[in-house]
Amino acid sequence: MKEIYPELGYRNGELFFEEVPLKEVVQRVGTPVYVYSRKALEYWFNEFDLAFSEVPHTTCFAVKSNSNVHVLKVLKELGAGADTVSMGEIFRALTSGINPKKVVFAGVGKREEELHFALERGILMVNVESEGELYALEKVAQKLGRRAPLAVRVNPDVNPKTHPYISTGLKEAKFGVTFEKAFELYRYAKKSRWLEPVGIHFHIGSQITDISVFGEAARKVANFVRELHSEGIEVEYFDAGGGLGINYRPEEKIVPAKRLAEEIIPVVKELGCHLILEPGRRISGNAGVLITQVLYVKKRENKTFYIVDAGMNDIARPSLYGAYHHIVPLQEREGENVVADVVGPICETGDVIAKERELPSLKEGDYIAVLSAGAYGFTMASNYNSRPRPAEVMVEGENFKIVRQRETLSDLIAREF
């Protein structure tokens, strides 16, 4: 196989995921369709998880990156926990069989109902992001007659040098609290009958490839943990968040997870804490593709548009962040490349999947794969323009199965009666 990413590549000119020619998926399921590879998920999970084997740790997959129950099941079998940000995500994680003791729950705006749900299910800890939330959690715990295990999410004020929309650890971001505030919250929690501070949490951003910032943040947070310890507040879990980037351009080298481990392991070893990690994109990103069909080829004087059947409602990242997703044809093409815009059917100029991209010359009816679409692909899809959301498929060896049916027209209006 001429490999592009692990488990994805060409054989005799045809694009395969594992042993399955993607053309077969399209013939059976249609387009647009998200396709995931079980082996690729396993590859990326293991690459990440094994890098940390030297220390006690739990890899809590960030469910927001890909929340399909079948994806979660694959990861659960490998020992994954779940990083969640809503009741819905906790529900999905538990439905997939993930042990509640491996579930963490973050998010700046948790409703009481959600805190209640989380505590009742006995999750590992709630990552508290504000003073108000701490009081809300205390109230809910008291109502339930159960102590609430928690971590305070601190904002270490480091610059992750990534897209501003996905930078979360800067002072001006809405996430977490300052070290100063965190101290107050831990003191309060320590005294409360209903609160039990068991961990500390930080997450500085996403798609980070400059690894040194992780070390910088971890050391800042570790210093704070030592201050807590000296006041008699012991925290057991050191939750270092997610954010490790991937290579959206296959020709670029991916940063090995080992490099991240080298930054973090010495810090937790010294603290003697149990490490929690929350990778999302790193595990699911390159384990999925979105396949779409070229509906029309529109030529203008000096411009070519490939109009495809997937729009910004199906894959939001390019239009939302100007993100780059590599595109390859399902059938390898010889000959001259063309510079074209790959655009969707949505009635907005911003509905672009790739701008001025050098691509093989394509014809109407051809299929292309949008790569690195396993993370923040389907989970960010919407029904905009009343378009049913795509099907999802899981490949395993020579077989594949539909793991989410394509939505139908009646699904679109089902809640309106």
Annotated catalytic sites, by residue?
A: 347
Q: How far from chain centre, in Å, is Cα 248?
A: 14
Asked if 57 touches ligand LLP (CB under 6 A), the answer is no
H/E element, 43: helix 38-51
How crowded is the C-beta side of 21, counted as CA atoms within 13 Å? Answer: 11
CB of 417 to ligand LLP, least distance (A): 32
- 166 sits near ligand LLP (criterion: CB under 6 A): yes
Interaction residues for ligand LLP, span 369-388 (CB under 6 A):
375-376
CB 316 → ligand LLP: shortest distance, Å?
A: 8
Task: Please give the size of the binding site for ligand LLP, defined by CB under 6 A.
Answer: 22
Per CB under 6 A, the list member of 92, 102, 116, 281 interacting with ligand LLP is 281
Query: How far, in Å, are 43, 64, 83, 163, 192 from residue 278 at the CA level?
Result: 17, 11, 6, 19, 28
Tell me which stretch binds ligand LLP (CB under 6 A): 176-184, 239-247, 355-363, 388-396.
Answer: 239-247
By the rule CB under 6 A, 291 interacts with ligand LLP: no
C-alpha 218/C-alpha 211 separation (Å) is 11
**Using rule CB under 6 A, residue 102 touches ligand LLP:** no
**Cα–Cα–Cα angle for 11, 42, 165, rounded to 5 degrees:** 95
The interface region with ligand LLP, picked from 189-197, 199-207, 220-228, 350-358 by CB under 6 A, is 199-207
Q: Measured from the CB of residue 259, what is the shortest distance to ligand LLP in angstroms?
A: 15
Question: Mapped to the 3 state alphabet, what secondary structure does 80-145 carry?
Answer: CEEEECCHHHHHHHHHCCCCHHHEEECCCCCCHHHHHHHHHHCCCEEEECCHHHHHHHHHHHHHHC
Could you tell me which stretch among 227-235, 261-269, 274-282, 384-392 binds ligand LLP (CB under 6 A)? 274-282
Q: Does 156 bind ligand LLP (CB under 6 A)?
A: no
Q: In angstroms, what is the minimal distance from the CB of 127 to ligand LLP?
A: 7
Greatest CA separation found in the chain? 73
DSSP designation for 255:
P
Q: 166 or 255: whose CB is closer to ligand LLP?
A: 166
DSSP class of residue 346? S
* Rounded-to-integer distance, Cα 370 and Cα 355, Å: 13
Among 18, 42, 89, 278, binds ligand LLP (CB under 6 A): 278
65 interacts with ligand LLP by CB under 6 A? yes
169: contact with ligand LLP by CB under 6 A? no
Should residue 242 be labelled a site residue for ligand LLP when binding is judged by CB under 6 A?
yes
377, 290 Cβ separation under 8 angstroms: yes
Cα 94 to Cα 82: distance, rounded to the nearest angstrom: 9
CA distance 15 to 13: 7
Query: Would you count residue 203 as binding ligand LLP (CB under 6 A)?
Result: yes
Report in angstroms how near the CB of residue 299 gets to ligand LLP at its nearest: 32
Residues that bind ligand LLP (CB under 6 A): 62, 65, 83, 106, 166, 168, 203, 206-207, 241-244, 278-282, 317, 321, 375-376
